[in-house]
Structures are given as structure tokens and as C-alpha cells.
Amino acid sequence: MLLAPMNDQAKLSEMQIEESWKRFHQQLLAFIRQRVDQEHDAEDILSVVFLRLLQKGDDITNLRAWLYRSTRNAIIDYYRTKKQQEPIEQHESFAEPSREEDEYMACCIQQLVQFLPERDRLALVAISEGQSQEFYAAEQGLSSSGARSRIQRARQRVREAFVQYCRPERDVCGSIIRVNPIGLDCSDGSCGG
């Protein structure tokens, strides 16, 4: 039995929805199974589609097209939800840097700081030793904004040199997990250049 075309004002009756279930159930389930691995997930997605049909029930001019579009959207929603629920530790490329790696990175950075122009190096050393930007500015005879610019410029130079000379490896989240320095000697932990 074919469903009568629906106009904008019509609402699907329970009987029409039941007929739609009988008519499209197997086709839609096969469509979903081609895109979803788990049988129970496929059944759940199909239930969501027909629940949406029951809730919507009006403004449907082409039922078959609406069902397939709604099914595709439900599959997309399924994968979005699944991706959000997946713990990040399941990613094989996710790793915490070891204490040794942290020390190694710190050693690389210390060596890079030594190659900065003196005024940039002194700015970073002062800040890393706990001096406030205001105190550093007063000590150097700079305005607050001048000191902030010098510190930002020095940090940017260290970042650029770090990428160039330490060649950091990142995990899927973008965190640095390992460095592979070229032209720096951090192997003995002495941080000597």
C-alpha cells in the first residue's frame, strides 16, 4: 500500500507511521548496517529515525527522501557522539612526555636562550627567576609596554629557534612529547653547548 502524498497541513497518523515502518524498515536498516559496525547501534539509529518521524509528522512532501535524509543525519549524529565519548587515551599516538624528556626539553630551551641577543636573554632570565614585568621595566629604564614587548619578542625568538633546532614531535592533541635536537648537545644533561 502506498502512502498518500502529504500536503503541508497533514500530519502522519499512527497507522501511516506503522505502514512506513513496515515498508521502509528493512531498507533503512540495510542502509545503516553498511555504515555502522554494531548491529545494536544500527537498530538504535533506526529507532531514532522513526521517533523523529513521529515527532515531526508534518511538512513532509516526499516521505522516502525524508527518511533517508533523516537516516543519514542520525548516522552522522551517532559518529559525532561516539567521537566525543571516546577517551583520548585510546589514541595510540597520545603519550605523556617522561620526566627525562621534560628535562631534555628544558635543557634545549636553556641552550637556545644562551644564543639570544643579550638584552632578550636578560629579560627572559629575569622573568624566569620570578621578577615581575614592572620591576624588570623599572630596573632597565623601560616603560611597562616596552618591557612587555621585549619579553614577548624574546619568547617568540625562543619558540622559533625551538621549532628549528629541537624539532619537537607532537601528539594528537598538539602537546610536545619528544624533541630531536640538531646542533645542540643535551645528551649528558649538563645543558652545555
List pLDDT tens digits, range 96-132: 556 666 777 788 888 888 888 998 888 888 888 888 8
Domain assignment of residue 8, yes or no: no
How many domains does the chain fold into?
2
Domain-embedded: residue 64: yes
| CA 147 – CA 103 distance, rounded (Å) | 29
- Supply the DSSP string of 70-89, one letter for each residue: HHHHHHHHHHHHHHHHS-GG
Domain boundary residue, one of 86, 118, 147: 86
**Last residue within a domain, chosen from 55, 86, 117:** 86
Tens digits of residue pLDDT in 49-88: 888 887 776 677 787 888 888 899 999 988 888 776 655 4
Structure confidence at residue 161 as a pLDDT band (50, 70, 90):
confident
Indicate if the alpha-carbon torsion angle 155, 156, 162, 168 is positive or negative: positive
Query: CATH number of the domain that 148 lies in?
Result: 1.10.10.10
Indicate whether 65 belongs to any domain. yes
Domain that holds residue 162: 99-178
